[in-house]
Amino acid sequence: MATILQLDDLDNVKTELRQFSESDWRRFGSETGLRKNTLDNIEANKAKVEDRLEECLAYWLRRKDNVDKQGKPSWSRLAEILDKLGERALADKIRDRKLRKEFSSDGSNRGSNHEEKRVEPAATFGHSIYLPKFLEDEYLRMTTEFANILKRFVIQYIEECHPLAEINQVYNFSFSPSCGFIELLFDDFCKGWTVQPLVEPCRLHQDDIDKFDEAIYPLPPSCLVSVDASPNADPTLHYSVPLEGVAHPVTLLINQKLQLEKDVLELIASHKTTFEKEKDRELAELTKKLYESLQKQSAIAKEKQELSEKMLALIKEQELPKQFEPDDKAEQ
């Protein structure tokens, strides 16, 4: 149950509304549930806008015009009214100051006050979640983090179990309230191509998806689809797969390029030519190095031959004794 505000709380409420524009008193009164004739009487009897806002608050706290139909006067109801008037920052301040304090006080305050809760709709499972503001923020943070962890796990699963699959854009969608499954419709046509699921009808049931990541359901539900092309197929496949059973229309697209046999042969021939060119280039470099080495060795041998001939000529010119020739040659 929520803390019900009384007329005794008027000054406290006025303090919390210090930053609220007093000129918007009539819009505030309408959101509380006060009737038009009540607001007209306030405007006729009060000349100043600050007095009109105070009178409007007093009527609301007295629960005039059966305002309880819109929601009993409380801090959470006040924050909700400010949200509708576009005063989100002020509404959040009231929630943080009032609701956090009451929530942490073991549910007991003055009189019959109880723990006050904020009603906040959430898309998960189509229900509303009743949480104080600070717990709502923590819940949303944890929900977002869990969604990111789940997405990373699914991508890791695809990479490990289906290494040839290409991971493109991730599509987010929700189930239609009137349908408990999502069906992939394979009704499109492209010349020479055959696109079909391995199981028909190709459906992903909400119960199976909700059970994913439990102990006995470690893998996400999936649908296997085969894509085949004939030799005379169109070079590129653009195939539309509408989803049935989703809240908003979504169409998946399959894009595939045909790998023709001649393209593969040309690719192989191109690699072969490149390999042969590289091989020929390396062989030419080795041949050149060998030729240069032989040239150097030939030049050295020629120089040695010329030197030997010069030495022999020098010995003959000096007419050295025969017995000294071996020693001279050794010295040479």
Give the residue from 98, 116, 134 where a domain finishes.
116
**Domain final residue pick, 200, 229, 258:** 258
Strand partners, 118: 131
Angle at the Cα of 111 (from 106 to 114), degrees rounded to 5?
A: 40
Q: Please tell me the number of Cα atoms within 13 Å of 326 on its side-chain side.
A: 1
Domain count, the chain: 4
Backbone angles phi, psi at 12, to 5 degrees: -65, -40
CA dist 178 and 184 (Å) reads 17
Residue 166 lies in a domain: yes
Whether 201 and 295 share a structural domain = no
Q: Which of 203, 228, 258 is the last residue of a domain?
A: 258
For residue 297, give its domain range. Answer: 278-327
Task: Note whether 236 and 256 are within 8 A (CB).
Answer: yes
Tell whether 106 and 11 lie within a shared domain: yes
Residues 45 and 101 both lie in one domain: yes
237 located within any domain: yes
Instruction: Evaluate whether residue 152 is within a structural domain.
Output: yes
Per-residue pLDDT tens for 50-104?
999 999 999 999 999 988 888 889 888 898 999 889 888 888 888 877 766 655 5
Determine the Cα angle at 35 with ends 31 and 38, to 5°.
115
> pTM of this prediction?
0.35
Q: CA-to-CA distance for 118 and 77, rounded, in angstroms?
A: 8
Same domain, residue pair 221 and 296: no
Can you tell me the distance from the alpha carbon of 332 to that of 164, in angstroms, rounded to the nearest whole number? 77
Low-confidence ranges of the chain (pLDDT < 50): 1, 106-129, 323, 329-332
> Quick check: is 142 in a domain?
yes
- Looking at residue 205, its pLDDT comes to 86
- The confidence score (pLDDT) of residue 234 equals 82
Residue 267 lies in a domain: no
Q: Report if residue 264 sits inside a domain.
A: no
